[in-house]
């Protein structure tokens, strides 16, 4: 059973470009969570999605950030017009319907030049 | 709002020595509690979790943790540390069926030969 997959593992963007981060949950998992880890800090919750629905986006910045989890395909975290402060590791986690345990992917490390 | 505090930013122990990493949480209901380990440039691996029942839980790699409700603590322990245990350790608390987890800022463990 493959774990949570994220791609790309590393992403370099110039200021003003768009970044798209992808997350494929574990097989059988329909709950996806995105977290951001700034350098030297812990993980901060961003958004929680189920298929085709955003359940909790209380941790998402109000502008430039969006997330989706379509019926088919991976979950996407989209950052428009990136700024240097967006440089961080972005982790995706998934869980089954019990939501008891979240399993994390390897992360995408975004560097904004 | 729930919060997690890991009082120790950095701990150094000698190989073979015992280890205890502290975690305190603030949460109004019975929490789900987790410890994760993160090696440099990697994702998070679940070490152990507590939902209910026996307050002493065993995890992978020889780790254990004890839930103490009276102290709002969930400290991680290992009797004899190995050099490969050097990593960053995160404590997290989750809701029942409510998605997101809240993470502490992490404790970096260095193991001396």
The CA distance from B104 to the nearest CA of chain A, in Å, is 6
Q: Do B49 and A101 touch (CB under 8 A)?
A: yes
Residues of chain B in Cβ contact (below 8 Å) with chain A: 32, 34, 36, 41-46, 49, 51, 90, 92, 94, 97-106
Q: A34 near A77, Cβ under 8 Å?
A: yes
Where do the DSSP E strands lie in chain A?
A: 5-7, 10-13, 19-24, 31-37, 43-50, 53-56, 65-68, 75-79, 88-95, 103-104, 108-112
Q: What percent of chain B has pLDDT above 70?
A: 95
Q: What is the CATH number of domain B3-112?
A: 2.60.40.10
Which range of B37-41, B57-61, B101-105 scores highest in mean pLDDT? It is B57-61
Residue A87 is predicted with a pLDDT of 96
Residue A40 pLDDT: 77
Query: In a mutagenesis test of the A interface, which of B30, B35, B44 is the best target, namely the one with the most A β-carbons within 10 Å?
Result: B44
Give mean pLDDT in consecutive 10-residue pieces for chain A, a chain of 113 residues: 88 97 94 91 91 92 95 95 96 85 92 97
CB contact under 8 A, B101 and A45: yes
Using the beta-carbon criterion (under 8 Å), do A45 and B49 form an inter-chain contact?
no
Query: CB A48 to CB B103 under 8 A?
Result: no
8 A C-beta contact, residue A15 and residue A84 = yes
| pLDDT of residue B30 exceeding 80 | no
d(CA A36, CA B30): 26
Option in A42, A99, A109 nearest B90 (CB): A42
Express each pLDDT in A26-54 by its tens digit: 998 999 999 999 887 889 999 999 988 99
Q: Is A85 helix (H, G, I), strand (E, B) or coil?
A: helix
For B76-96, what is the mean pLDDT? 92
Average pLDDT, chain B: 91
Query: Which of A99, A107, A108 is most worth mutating to test chain B (most B CB atoms within 10 A of its CB)?
Result: A99
Signed CA dihedral, B44, B47, B51, B55: sign only = negative
Residues B11-24, mean pLDDT to the nearest whole number: 97
Instruction: Evaluate if residue B94 carries a pLDDT over 80.
Output: yes
Which member of A42, A99, A102 has the closest CB to residue B106? A42
């Amino acid at each position: 059973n493959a774990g949570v997959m994220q791609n790309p593992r590393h992403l370099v963007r110039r200021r003003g470009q768009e970044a798209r981060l992808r997350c494929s949950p574990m097989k059988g998992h329909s709950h996806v969570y995105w977290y951001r880890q700034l350098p030297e800090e812990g993980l901060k919750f961003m958004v929680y999605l189920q298929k085709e629905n955003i359940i909790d986006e209380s941790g998402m910045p109000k502008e430039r950030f969006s997330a989706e989890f379509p019926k088919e395909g991976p979950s996407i975290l989209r950052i428009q017009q990136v700024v240097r402060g967006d440089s961080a590791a972005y982790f995706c986690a998934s869980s089954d319907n019990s939501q008891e345990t979240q399993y994390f992917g390897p992360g995408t490390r975004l560097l904004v030049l | 709002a729930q919060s997690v505090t890991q009082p120790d930013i950095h701990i150094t122990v000698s190989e073979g020595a015992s280890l205890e990493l502290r975690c305190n949480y603030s949460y109004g209901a019975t929490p789900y509690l987790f410890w994760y380990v993160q090696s440099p440039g990697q994702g998070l691996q679940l070490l152990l979790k507590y939902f209910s029942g026996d307050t002493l839980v065993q995890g992978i790699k020889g780790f254990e943790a004890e839930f103490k409700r009276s102290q709002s603590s969930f400290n991680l322990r290992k009797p004899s540390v190995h050099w490969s245990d050097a990593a960053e350790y995160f404590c997290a608390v989750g809701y029942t069926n409510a998605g997101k987890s809240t993470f502490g800022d992490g404790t970096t463990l260095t193991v001396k030969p």
